Amino acid sequence: MDWELTRSLAITLGVGLLIGIQREWAEKRVAGIRTFPLIALFGFLCGLGSESYGPWLVPTGLGTIAALLYVVNRNSALLNPNGGLGITTEVAVLLMYLLGALIAVGQVTLAVVVTGIVAVLLHLKRGMHGFVARIGNEEFRALIRLILIGMIILPILPDRGFGPFAVWNPFRIWLIVVLIVGISLAAFVVRRLLSRRAGVLWGGLLGGLISSTAITISTSRESRRQPGTSVSAAVVVMIASTVSLARILVEIAVVAPSALAFAGPPLGALFVWMTLLSALIFFRSHRQLEAPSEKESPPGDLGASIVFALLYAGVLFGVAVVQQRFGDRTLFVVAGLSGLTDVDAITLSVAELMTDHDLDPGVGWRAILIAAAANLGFKGAVAAVMGSGKLAAQLALLFGLSIAGAAAIFFLWP
């Protein structure tokens, strides 16, 4: 028996044991730690034999397993009519057979990933049922709204440029709406599942990884509806803005590693400064974050998200006009305008120019720094217009100190 066959056989046995252990632990007697590996091996042998005896072998084996499950469940129902019926384990049995067959035909990675997903879904039964039990009518409508705009409307929009300079991409502009609504709903879920303080921390981290601008809009709207959330909103936005700066450094490291030697130290200094500010506001606000909050409603207003998307389209047009008219001669101006809506694009463009030696490194990292500072100013303006007065005041102080740090680095860094 060759090595590949031995390896596939061992993986088949492993995935069967994993699901079998979980089902045995859950006290499901239809199948357990012995039955699941046997079913996986049966699927593996059928998949292996299908190459020699024909493709009919796999569906025949699946039908045999389904018939056995029917007989077992029917006998159980006769012996215990009031026991109730559930098909989770039975579906897991059928999946296990198919996973064994997948491994036999070389789809090992897919089979392992699906096994992991199945194990997680089986293990999270109580948590998932408890979460669904806490979902009310408003929460469900918010989820359906996100599905409508993200899974129905977004895919049918054209992903290409229209209008002057071809800067208006319907797909990407509507994606801004989806991001704002999606992050708002995700932050709401995080706050519902975790303590308020932990929800604030994870909400900021999540927002910074996806879109700090989107989380700024969603938390600003929430602070205006519920002024008591202003402190937590300020903490979330500051953490998200700090994480977004770390994301910029990662993007440079991945796309243009050689540029990181020039851009990393000054941008890293700004990241450290903003991290200190984030830690200061987070720990100084612990009393407000631990205090019980008023009942929170799920995000539901699409109007403000659409207005911002239109503003985003307008800024894109302004950036295109400046670039078309002045080119790279006004790189700092272009960087400032681009940073209002998207720091990533100008970061990647400048990093590539630095790598190709088409741009002085000192000019390059300063352009990225300007874009990051402009983005902070833009988010501060958004909070002032859409959020509560308390949120606007706190972000004015935090962002003001952050921009002051960026200015000091811009002028004083050697």
Task: Give the burial string for 351-387 (b: 16+ CB within 10 Å, else e).
Answer: bbbbbeeebebeebbbbbbbbbbbbbbbbbbbbbebb
Residue 79 has pLDDT above 70, yes or no: no
| Residue 413: pLDDT band with limits 50, 70, 90 | very high
| Residue 232: pLDDT band with limits 50, 70, 90 | confident
pLDDT for residue 234? 92
Per-residue pLDDT averaged across 21-27, rounded? 74
Count how many Cα atoms sit within 13 Å of the Cα of residue 334 in the half-sphere of its side chain.
19
pLDDT for residue 84? 47
CB 347, CB 339: distance < 8 Å: no
Between 54 and 366, name the one with better pLDDT.
366
| Residue 374: pLDDT band with limits 50, 70, 90 | very high
pLDDT for residue 326? 65
| Residue 267: pLDDT band with limits 50, 70, 90 | very high
Summary mean pLDDT of the chain: 81
pLDDT for residue 292? 45
- Out of 90-99, 260-269, 298-307, which region has the weakest mean confidence (pLDDT)? 298-307
pLDDT for residue 297? 56
Q: Where are the beta strands (DSSP E) in 71-150?
A: none
pLDDT for residue 388? 92
Q: What is the pTM of this model?
A: 0.64
Between 258 and 288, name the one with better pLDDT.
258
pLDDT for residue 291? 47
CB 198, CB 181: distance < 8 Å: no
CA separation for the pair 382, 155 (Å, rounded): 28
Between 225 and 380, name the one with better pLDDT.
380
pLDDT for residue 196? 63
- Out of 44-58, 169-183, 282-296, which region has the weakest mean confidence (pLDDT)? 282-296
| Residue 261: pLDDT band with limits 50, 70, 90 | confident
Q: Choose the most confident range, by mean pLDDT, from 68-72, 216-220, 331-335.
A: 216-220
Between 365 and 5, name the one with better pLDDT.
365
Residue 175 has pLDDT above 60, yes or no: yes
Amino acid at the residue 354:
M
